Amino acid sequence: MKPSTLQFWTLLIVCIVSGVLIAMMDVSPHWDDTGITVGAILIFAFLTGVSRPDYAWLWALILGGCIFGFNAVLKHNYGSAAALVFAFAGAYSGVLIRKILK
Protein backbone atom coordinates (compact mmCIF):
# COMPACT_ATOMS: atom_id res chain seq x y z
CA MET A 1 0.00 0.00 0.00
CA LYS A 2 1.38 3.43 -0.96
CA PRO A 3 2.00 5.94 1.83
CA SER A 4 -0.58 8.34 0.35
CA THR A 5 -3.20 5.57 0.34
CA LEU A 6 -2.36 4.64 3.91
CA GLN A 7 -2.58 8.31 4.90
CA PHE A 8 -6.00 8.62 3.25
CA TRP A 9 -7.43 5.60 5.08
CA THR A 10 -5.90 6.69 8.37
CA LEU A 11 -7.39 10.16 8.03
CA LEU A 12 -10.73 8.71 7.00
CA ILE A 13 -10.87 6.56 10.13
CA VAL A 14 -9.71 9.45 12.34
CA CYS A 15 -12.31 11.71 10.77
CA ILE A 16 -15.15 9.23 11.28
CA VAL A 17 -14.15 8.45 14.87
CA SER A 18 -13.72 12.11 15.80
CA GLY A 19 -17.02 13.03 14.11
CA VAL A 20 -18.87 10.33 16.02
CA LEU A 21 -17.21 11.29 19.33
CA ILE A 22 -18.00 14.98 18.87
CA ALA A 23 -21.57 14.11 17.89
CA MET A 24 -22.02 11.82 20.92
CA MET A 25 -20.74 14.59 23.16
CA ASP A 26 -23.06 17.11 21.50
CA VAL A 27 -26.22 15.03 21.97
CA SER A 28 -25.46 13.99 25.55
CA PRO A 29 -28.24 15.05 27.95
CA HIS A 30 -26.38 17.66 29.98
CA TRP A 31 -24.20 19.13 27.23
CA ASP A 32 -25.00 22.73 26.41
CA ASP A 33 -21.77 24.25 25.21
CA THR A 34 -22.00 24.95 21.52
CA GLY A 35 -18.71 26.83 21.48
CA ILE A 36 -16.68 23.78 22.43
CA THR A 37 -18.51 21.67 19.85
CA VAL A 38 -17.85 24.25 17.11
CA GLY A 39 -14.22 24.58 18.21
CA ALA A 40 -13.72 20.81 18.03
CA ILE A 41 -15.29 20.69 14.56
CA LEU A 42 -13.06 23.54 13.34
CA ILE A 43 -9.89 22.01 14.79
CA PHE A 44 -10.42 18.51 13.40
CA ALA A 45 -11.59 19.81 10.01
CA PHE A 46 -8.61 22.17 9.84
CA LEU A 47 -6.11 19.43 10.66
CA THR A 48 -7.53 17.03 8.10
CA GLY A 49 -7.71 19.82 5.51
CA VAL A 50 -4.03 20.59 6.04
CA SER A 51 -3.10 16.89 5.88
CA ARG A 52 -4.94 16.01 2.66
CA PRO A 53 -6.27 19.16 0.97
CA ASP A 54 -7.48 17.24 -2.08
CA TYR A 55 -10.16 15.60 0.07
CA ALA A 56 -11.19 18.63 2.16
CA TRP A 57 -14.78 18.30 0.97
CA LEU A 58 -14.91 14.71 2.21
CA TRP A 59 -13.49 15.53 5.65
CA ALA A 60 -16.01 18.37 6.04
CA LEU A 61 -18.93 16.17 4.99
CA ILE A 62 -17.94 13.40 7.37
CA LEU A 63 -17.36 15.65 10.39
CA GLY A 64 -20.33 17.94 9.84
CA GLY A 65 -22.52 15.08 8.68
CA CYS A 66 -21.92 13.08 11.85
CA ILE A 67 -22.95 15.98 14.06
CA PHE A 68 -25.97 16.81 11.93
CA GLY A 69 -27.00 13.17 11.61
CA PHE A 70 -26.83 12.45 15.34
CA ASN A 71 -28.70 15.66 16.20
CA ALA A 72 -31.37 15.18 13.54
CA VAL A 73 -32.08 11.57 14.47
CA LEU A 74 -31.71 11.68 18.26
CA LYS A 75 -32.77 15.25 19.15
CA HIS A 76 -34.80 16.32 16.08
CA ASN A 77 -32.50 19.35 15.93
CA TYR A 78 -32.23 20.30 12.28
CA GLY A 79 -30.51 23.58 13.10
CA SER A 80 -27.37 21.56 13.69
CA ALA A 81 -26.91 21.58 9.91
CA ALA A 82 -24.78 24.64 10.69
CA ALA A 83 -22.13 22.12 11.76
CA LEU A 84 -21.56 21.49 8.05
CA VAL A 85 -20.78 25.17 7.52
CA PHE A 86 -18.18 25.13 10.31
CA ALA A 87 -16.71 21.86 9.04
CA PHE A 88 -16.29 23.26 5.53
CA ALA A 89 -14.84 26.50 6.92
CA GLY A 90 -12.31 24.54 8.98
CA ALA A 91 -11.33 22.15 6.21
CA TYR A 92 -10.86 24.84 3.57
CA SER A 93 -9.00 27.06 6.05
CA GLY A 94 -6.57 24.16 6.35
CA VAL A 95 -6.28 23.99 2.56
CA LEU A 96 -5.58 27.73 2.42
CA ILE A 97 -2.90 27.56 5.11
CA ARG A 98 -1.23 24.64 3.36
CA LYS A 99 -1.14 26.57 0.06
CA ILE A 100 0.25 29.65 1.79
CA LEU A 101 3.01 27.66 3.53
CA LYS A 102 3.93 25.65 0.45
What is the residue-wise DSSP string for the chain?
--HHHHHHHHHHHHHHHHHHHHHHHHHSTT---HHHHHHHHHHHHHHHHHH-GGGHHHHHHHHHHHHHHHIIIII--GGGGHHHHHHHHHHHHHHHHHHHH-
Q: What percent of the chain has pLDDT over 70?
A: 97
pLDDT digits (tens, 9 = 90+) for 84-97: 999 999 999 999 99
Mean pLDDT for all residues in the chain:
93
Mean pLDDT across 17-23: 95
Domain ranges of the chain: 34-102
